[in-house]
Amino acid sequence: MKKSKIISLTEAMQEVKDGDCIFMGGVVEDRRPVAAVYELIRQGKKNLILLGTSSLVEDMLVGAGCVSAYRGTYTAIGAFGISPNTKRFVEAGKIVVDDIGHVDVCMGFVAAMAGSPFIASKTTFGTDVLNPAYDNVAKIRGLARNPKTLPAKKYVLMDDPFYGTGTVQLHPALKVDVFINHVQYAGEEGTVRMDGSLVFDHFACHAARKVIITAEQVVPEEYLRRDPNRNQIPCTSVDMVVELPWGAHPGQLLNFYDMDVPFIMDYVGKSRTEEGFKQWADAWVFGAKNQEEYLNKLGASRLEKMRALPPYGYRPRTRGGAK
Amino acid sequence: MMSEKFAKPGEFTAAEAMIIYGSRMLAAFNGKMGIIGIGAPLLATHLAKLLHSPDMKIIIETGQADANPEEVPLSIMDSRLTYGSSWQMGDPEGLFPLMRGEIDFGFIGGAQIDKYGNLNSTFIGSDYNKPHKRLAGTAGAVDIGSFSKATIITMAHQKRRILEKVDYLTTPGWMVKKWPEGKMVRREEVGLPGGPIAFISSMGIMRFDDKTKIMYVDRFFPGVDPKAIKENTGFDIDISRAKEADPIEREELRVLREVADPLNIYKTR
């Protein structure tokens, strides 16, 4: 019998070490590993380096004092505004920031997936992303537990030697210590099936030293192998699987549930101040030992109202969907 | 009859006017392919598909090809964007058509805009490491504004947002920074195609002079005094070419209010 990769959330999050460069699946408030992040906060992680974005889940880590630096493309939570804890910490100079472009993140993951040290493009030309005065890569490298996860330089400009199209930018591969990804389905050996946007995750899973999957449902591996074309992360790239129902609440999970708008509004409102965030975290992170207690606290009727309906995969607004 | 076809100033909000004139701008792109940012651009696009350009193909940066949401989405990866798309992949697949030169138009917002149409959505202040205000970052805007064959920009008209110079250049307009020195040059000089063709605010439509590439007021919305546009702009904007925009039709308002955003998700009214 093949070895099962299923472990507990507590054990899985213990694999994240202080000072690791972490990347989390989904984007903004959708298909985010929220329950996993609650556990990282409970375990009191320190000096994590956020790659990619600082949106809903990353912002919670910032508020809880788990983060020393951020390198990415986005520090907001969509319609809910600028990520409130990230805003507060950045404005106070408490975390180091290095902005890169959105395609730069894609390019970096493509390079890492291909096992290439860098890749060339013409993105972010003309912008302050290339301003040497705003280059904090060296500073962030100095904060990392594994400095070699981060590049020695932000970028290099050179002339296109092949097609003569002028200047190109060389982007370093975007490498990750730990990738945590919440998905709809995983098998016990780690095969993953995601619905909805794959975001960067089908590339990031090959760019990380450790890949931790939290799954809404763990299903028989054999079931996912009946149709391998529908799977986007192979078992060969996954280290651990945790079953975590409603693991993306209060965000959306296509085909499972819609967004809990009042919950996110409450989070965003409270997180504008240190005391407010503490109050929120005491209620929802420390006020529940685990996901089961968290769901009990939310209550069955609240969750029931968010259930997605076929064929849409979300809850239509005429049936009480997110607005 | 005239009075029945057209809405009078006071019968619509500034935000509704911004969305309606934004959607009209897309009438020129029927049958074309665009990448659209979430927020006001998405609502204007939704309205344009209903009124002017049903055959527009919309790409979303989280990897939906020919997205056809039935309900206006709240988020760039909203489940509402997936259902009805031709293809659902991820951000690389969503954004790479830009660099392949396939995208006819981009439609984006921002926090600050300068007279050359450069956008800032990164930070406000003078110290990057301790900014006065941290904003959202590059998101998709930098790539959309760099590589679309034409870019349309939309945001509310406020003096503190429309400036001589942006604090941080996130998305390239017409005059951009050439590195490593940071010298201001025309965007063509750093190899960028396209450029902003219009800035639609909550007061009017601004365009960019063919020669100088400096923003001027092309149209003011019905009920708006062009002098008020000047007063609410952070640099000395040219209003000498400004004409009143064609009036808003009641039918446009009806479709916006009853079909595109019946629940006022985007709070335009």
Interface probe for A, chosen from B68, B96, B138, B151 (most Cβ of A below 10 Å), is B138
Give me the residue from A78, A86, A308 closest to B76, CB to CB.
Answer: A78
pLDDT tens digit string along A180-202?
999 999 999 999 999 999 999 99
Averaged pLDDT for residues A224-248: 98
Q: Is B61 designated active site?
A: yes
CB environment B63-90: b (16+ within 10 A), e (fewer)? bbbebebebbbbbbbbbbbbbebeebbb
Contact residues, chain A, for B78 at CB < 8 Å:
30, 252, 314
A251, closest residue in chain B (CA to CA): B78
Question: What is the pLDDT at residue A232?
Answer: 98
* CB contact residues (below 8 A), chain B span 113-132, against chain A: 122-123, 128-132
Task: Tell whether the torsion through CA atoms of A289, A293, A295 and A299 is positive or negative.
Answer: negative
Q: What is the pLDDT of residue B210?
A: 97
Q: Are strands B151-154 and B105-108 parallel, antiparallel or unpaired?
A: parallel
Per the domain annotation, does A167 fall within a domain?
A: yes
Establish if B191 touches chain A: CB-CB under 8 angstroms.
yes
Structural domain includes residue B14: yes
- Judging contacts by C-beta atoms under 8 Å, the chain B residues touching residue A121 are 99
Per the structure, the complete domain to which residue B157 belongs is given by 2-260
CB-based contact A90 B62, cutoff 8 Å: no
Instruction: Give pTM, 2 decimals.
Output: 0.97
CB of A58 closer than 8 Å to CB of A86: yes
| Continuous H helices in chain B | 2-5, 14-25, 40-51, 79-82, 91-99, 141-147, 226-231, 250-254
Interface probe for B, chosen from A102, A206, A319 (most Cβ of B below 10 Å), is: A102
Mean pLDDT confidence for B47-68: 97
Instruction: Kindly state the average pLDDT of the residues B231-252.
Output: 98
Facing residue for B92 by CB, picked from A123, A203, A313? A203
Q: Using CA atoms, how far apart are residues A197 and B64, in angstroms rounded to an integer?
A: 7
Looking at B4, B11, B16, B61, which residue is catalytic?
B61
Residue B138 to residue A102, Cβ atoms within 8 A: yes
DSSP, residue by residue, B70-134 = SS--SSTT-HHHHTT-SEE-BHHHHHHHHHTT--SEEEE--SEEETT--EE-SEESS-TTS-SEE
Domain count, chain A: 1
Q: Which of A182, A71, A87 is nearest to A137 (CA)?
A: A71
Please report, to the nearest 10 degrees, the dihedral formed by the alpha carbons of residues A135, A140, A146, A149 taken in order.
Answer: -30
The answer to whether position B266 is within a domain reads no
> pLDDT (tens digit, 9 = 90+) per residue, B80-106?
999 999 999 999 999 999 999 999 999
Residue B269 domain flag: no
Domains held by chain B: number: 1
- B-chain residues near A197 (CB < 8 A): 62-64, 77, 81-82, 88-91
Name the strand (E) or helix (H) holding A169. strand A167-172
CB contact under 8 A, B135 and A125: no
- How many other β-carbons are positioned within 10 Å of the β-carbon of residue B159? 11
- Side by side, which strands form the sheet with B105-108? B57-59, B33-36, B105-108, B151-154, B196-200, B204-208, B215-220, B243-244
For residue B265, being part of any structural domain is answered with no
A111-147 in b/e form (b: 16+ CB < 10 A) is bbbeeeebbbbbbbbbbbbbbeebbbbeebbebbeee
Residue A283: inside a domain: no
CATH number at residue A145: 3.40.1080.10
The tokens for B102 are: 């396939």
Q: Give dist(CA B187, CA B197) in Å, integer.
A: 13
Residue A133, CA distances (Å) to A129, A147, A154 in order: 10, 21, 12
pLDDT of residue A320: 87
pLDDT of residue A3: 86
pLDDT at residue A184, as a whole number? 98
Beta carbons of B143 and B98 less than 8 angstroms apart: yes
pLDDT the model gives residue B80: 95
CB contact under 8 A, B74 and A96: no
What pLDDT, on a 0 to 100 scale, did the predictor assign at position A323?
85
User: What is the spatial distance between Cα A40 and Cα A32, in angstroms, rounded to a whole number?
Assistant: 14
Q: Please indicate, yes or no, if residue B267 is contained in any of the structural domains.
A: no
Mean pLDDT value across residues A141-157: 97
CATH number assigned to the domain comprising residue B23: 3.40.1080.10
**A251, A259 in Cβ contact below 8 A?**
yes
Q: Check: CB of residue A217 under 8 Å from CB of residue A185.
A: yes
Question: What percent of chain B has a predicted confidence (pLDDT) above 70?
Answer: 99
Residue A19: pLDDT band (50, 70, 90) is very high
Inter-chain residue contact B146 with A124, CB threshold 8 Å: yes
- Digit-coded pLDDT (tens) for A30-44: 999 999 999 999 999
Residues of chain A with C-beta less than 8 angstroms from the C-beta of B70: 312, 316
* Helix A56-63 with A274-284: angle, nearest 10 deg: 110
Q: Are B170 and B215 in contact (CB under 8 A)?
A: no
Mean model confidence pLDDT for chain B? 96
As a whole number, the mean pLDDT across chain A is 97
Residue A143, pLDDT score: 98
The residue range of the domain holding A21 is 9-257
